[in-house]
Amino acid sequence: MTKAPTRSTQPDLLYSEAEDDLRAAVRSLLTDRADTAALLTRAEAGTPYDAGLWKALAADMGAAGLLVPEKLGGQGASHREAAVVLEELGRQVTPAPYLTSSVIATEVLLALDTETPEVADLLAALASGRTVAVLAVPLSASPYGPLAAGESRVPGVADAAAADVFLVLRSDGLYAVEAGEVGVEAQTPLDLTRPLAAVTVPGTAAATRLADSDAAEAAVRRGLLAGAGLLASEQLGVAEWCLEETVRHTRERHQFNRPIGSFQALKHRMAQLWLEVVSARAAVRNAADALATDSPEAALAVAIAQAYTSRVAVHAAEECVQLHAGIGMTWEHPAHLHLKRAKSDSIALGTAGSHKEALAELVDIEAP
């Protein structure tokens, strides 16, 4: 009889003072520079990214290099700090290639032989925020499914339009391909704040080989796992904003000569949501800490955080729209942006169901 694994050391589930400071800095940058109206205008024009904002966040603030050790040109911080940045980006549904470049692509490269100059140079460029790299897989790719190597057209690649470099998995290894060599065909995304494109890499494209196929596959899986783990923090940020805005709105809005927030039918729904958000925070902190400490339980912690938080973010966003009612259905109000982000996040990097299946194996709860 097998027992579920238990870890010996306790995870640190709180935020450090440095993390609180980082949060404050990112939040003030985003409130100054990424308001909803501007975001909508850019998204409608088909150019959702704000290059100045990316430079301020990724380069000036150093957020792009949080996961990269100092000797490789980064900040030498960890997943705990990157998770805080993602919480804030989630709150504001900011279009920025942070998850794709600073987390997933960076994590893939870190899992390779960083002594190789090609890998080291690219990592340093990503860490500086000057270069954006995107792993050429669909946003829906899960860390557990089969990895399609060498496909010529890859649909649903997130942030492809912002990429300078693509990481491309071919049957004989992993390659870096400059954006100029690649066909990028924009798709219409459900989530306007995270653009998707079909990426075609011609067989003739000039490419730099980074790793052989075994190392490549392991690195890509690690990138997707860390991405899924930190995506949960973004989902927490989305949920938190939705709850806060809903509470604020229902305190101010009057119907029947009362603030609607005094109706118990609404209060209970928000209290329930609060409980879910508080619980999700523990789960996502656990995942970020497990990734940061390279815990043997990292895969389990990520699966738990994803299986739980995906649902919470969608629930929060759906409640946000419903309790705002008419105004929540309008294009001007940001609620729809959060709903779209929450819903597409629930498919990104593995659905809650796929994470639960992975977990079933990890804790020995076998299917019939």
Partner 1 sequence: MTDAAELRTRAEELLAAHPPATTDRTTFLKARFDAGLAWVHYPKGLGGLDAPRSLQAVVDAVLNAADAPDNDPRRIGIGLGMAAPTILAYGSEEVKERFLRPLWVGDEVWCQLFSEPGAGSDLAALGTRAVRDGDDWVVSGQKVWTSSAHVARWAILIARTDPDLPKHRGITYFICDMTDPGVEVRPLRQITGEAEFNEVFLSGVRIPDAHRLGEVGEGWKVAQTTLMNERVSIGGSRIPREGGMIGPVTQTWRERPELRTHDLHQRLLTLWVEAEVARLAGERLRQQLVAGQPGPEGSGMKLAFARLNQEISGLEVELRGEEGLLYDDWTMRRPELVDFTGRDAGYRYLRSKGNSIEGGTSEVLLNIVAERVLGLPSEPRNDKDIAWKDLAR
d(CA 6, CA 151): 40
Are the beta carbons of 112 and 167 closer than 8 angstroms? no
* DSSP code for 130: S
CB nearer to partner 1: pick between 130 and 251: 251
* Residues of this chain, 318-357, that bind partner 1 according to CB under 8 A: 356-357
How many residues in the shown chain lie near partner 1 by CB under 8 A? Answer: 47
Q: Is 21 in the site for partner 1 (CB under 8 A)?
A: no
CB nearer to partner 1: pick between 170 and 269: 269
- Of 31, 113, 130, 258, which lies in the binding site for partner 1, with binding defined by CB under 8 A? 258
Q: Which residue is associated with the tokens 């392991």?
A: 218
Identify which of 244, 249, 242, 227 has the alpha carbon closest to the alpha carbon of residue 340: 242
CB nearer to partner 1: pick between 11 and 189: 11
d(CA 56, CA 339): 27
Output the DSSP codes for 7-37: -SSPP--S--HHHHHHHHHHHHHHHHH--HH
Q: Is 316 in the site for partner 1 (CB under 8 A)?
A: no
* Residues of this chain, 259-298, that bind partner 1 according to CB under 8 A: 259, 261-264, 266-268, 270-272, 274-275, 278-283, 285-286
CB nearer to partner 1: pick between 215 and 363: 363
CB nearer to partner 1: pick between 6 and 188: 6
Q: Is 12 in the site for partner 1 (CB under 8 A)?
A: yes
CB nearer to partner 1: pick between 232 and 335: 232
Q: Which residue is associated with the tokens 């050429």?
A: 136
Strand 254-255 relative to strand 208-211, pairing: unpaired
Question: Cα-Cα-Cα-Cα dihedral of 352, 354, 356, 360, to 10°?
Answer: 180
* Residues of this chain, 117-146, that bind partner 1 according to CB under 8 A: none
d(CA 2, CA 35): 52
* Residues of this chain, 219-248, that bind partner 1 according to CB under 8 A: 247
Q: How far is the CB of 98 from partner 1 (least distance, A)?
A: 25
Are the beta carbons of 308 and 231 closer than 8 angstroms? no
Residues that bind partner 1 (CB under 8 A): 1-2, 4, 6, 10-14, 247, 250-251, 258-259, 261-264, 266-268, 270-272, 274-275, 278-283, 285-286, 304, 307-308, 356-357, 359-360, 363-368
